[in-house]
Amino acid sequence: MDVVRLAAWSVALLLAGVALFQPGLAGGAPWGDMSYGGRAETVIGILPGSYRGMSGAAVVIRLPAAWIVLARSGVVPGRCAEDSCAVPPGCSSDTSCSIPS
């Protein structure tokens, strides 16, 4: 396995692992002290509504991000192996972006 694929799998597994933690937070599991750097005010470890909403949104963001990392590295087949997936206008596939003035 080459370095790019190993790195892609590592990043994708980390993203998926964090994404699997988020539904518990959104559902009210008492894991709030282990999330958001411990900064969120919790009641017996349960996050307030705004943080629970952010946790739900994080799943929607992180799982596709993991897939995109795998697709861009060529681990999984798809159009993302080309320069057409998840690259905003003004940015190149090497993550450098130019901000229009």
Does 93 fall in a domain?
A: no
Does 100 fall in a domain?
A: no
Does 20 fall in a domain?
A: yes
Does 49 fall in a domain?
A: yes
pLDDT at 79: 61
- The pTM for the full model equals 0.67
Does 91 fall in a domain?
A: no
Query: Over 50: is that where the pLDDT of 99 sits?
Result: no
Mean pLDDT of 22-42: 89
Does 92 fall in a domain?
A: no
- Count of structural domains within the chain: 1
Structural domain boundaries enclosing 8: 3-81
Does 71 fall in a domain?
A: yes
Q: How do residues 48-94 score in pLDDT, each as one tens digit? A: 989 999 999 988 888 888 888 888 888 887 666 555 555 555 555 55
DSSP code string of 30-76: S-GGGSGGG-S--BTTBPPHHHHHHHHHHHHHHHHHHHHHHHHTTSS
pLDDT at 69: 87
Does 97 fall in a domain?
A: no
